[in-house]
Chain A
């Protein structure tokens, strides 16, 4: 754990190389009440960031809010779920050649002030994926006991399978470098994607670091995880995590990417 503390202490010194292009992916499903503020906050952190709100088939004007706050918006024709929405952002990042892609929730629970800490190690090439961990922060996140127990179980399973100690495997606040962007653009789990995708990244032999981040309570809306669902969540994710470990190192080439004709000039 000590190396993470070092990272936290040094975070103010981390410079983001000016050549890197950073995209912040904000998946949003019916978050009209908060998305505008979140976009504005991200803009306030540093000016060079480009923000892509992926509107996952919202019916409450989320896209309009995001647009008027100055974000780029991709509107999905219908609700795909968090995995499909986030993957859209990674595909955008790949297509437009971004060096770093950060995912940040639209409900306001991820503090944009932590962005430099997450982007830093990835932009500097020290890590392929930086995960914002809620449990590493000093006066960190207090979840209900049952949820903490579930999260502990998940981190134990993921840590065991990857041979790397993970504290917060369910965090949806993370920064990905070019190799992870490419990987997630090709394959990304549909629901509850975070723990499973961590296993996949580690199995590719890529480097993951956990960075302490603060976690605010959501400003509007409800968590999608109810008690019964969380049981399903744990079982599904554990299964997915184990299956993911069974998969070969090299996954079959993606059918879609193979057939696709890129419109960009450079690839």
Chain B
């Protein structure tokens, strides 16, 4: 079973390459620890499957899949789906944070302008935030 043909060699080399790439990325701090573990585990599983293909057969058998590579495709597809969903969630959170930051930058810049304009100007346009503390205002 295992150890026949170029495909075997190819999968082993590719999964080994992936493993090395991930370790290197972690070493160079290009991958956050949070995701590093996930990718390390993924690469390891791929490597084990590539080296010992009887595991794939066993897995397929356990799942009731007759054509063993289908089991791999199924798992890979589900894994990618979950990963994509996770990315979209993260992307949404990031964009929410970017919006907040942009708003904050705009508001802070406005405040800087007010402070730079000096107290005379501020009183005239009553833009001093401390005005907000007063009960009434000349409207």
Residues of A within 8 A of B (CB): 16, 18-22, 48, 50, 54, 72-78, 80, 84, 87-88, 91-92, 95-98, 190, 256, 263-266
Contact = CB atoms under 8 A, between A and B. Distances in A.
Contact of A74 (B100, B106, B139): B106
Nearest to B126: A50
A19 B102 contact: no
A256 B132 contact: no
Interface of B: 99-100, 102-103, 105-107, 109-110, 125-127, 129-133, 135-139
A211 B136 CA distance: 27
Per CB-CB distance, the 5 closest pairs between chain A and chain B, nearest first, are A97-B132, A48-B139, A266-B133, A74-B106, A88-B103
22 contacts: A48-B139, A73-B110, A74-B109, A75-B106, A75-B109, A76-B103, A76-B106, A77-B102, A77-B106, A80-B102, A84-B102, A88-B103, A88-B107, A92-B110, A95-B107, A96-B129, A97-B129, A98-B132, A190-B99, A263-B129, A264-B129, A265-B133
Contacts of B126: 50
A95 B129 contact: yes
Given A84-B102, A95-B129, A264-B129, A48 B107 contact: no
B133 A78 contact: no
A87 B139 contact: no
B139 A20 contact: yes
Contacts of A20: 139
A116 B110 CA distance: 27
Give the residue among B106, B125, B129 with the most A Cβ atoms within 10 A.
B106
A contacts with B: majority SS: loop
A52 to B, nearest CB: 8
A266 B132 CA distance: 8
A98 B126 CA distance: 12
A48 B105 CA distance: 27
Nearest to B127: A72
Contacts of B138: 48
Given A18-B139, A21-B139, A80-B102, A72 B110 contact: yes
Contacts of B133: 97, 264-266
Contacts of A88: 103, 106-107
A263 B110 CA distance: 14
B131 to A, nearest CB: 8
Given A75-B106, A84-B103, A98-B132, 6 more contacts: A21-B139, A76-B105, A96-B131, A256-B100, A264-B132, A265-B130
Contacts of B107: 74, 88, 91-92, 95
Contacts of A264: 129-130, 132-133
Contacts of B136: 18-19
Nearest to B132: A97
A97 B125 CA distance: 15
Contacts of A266: 132-133
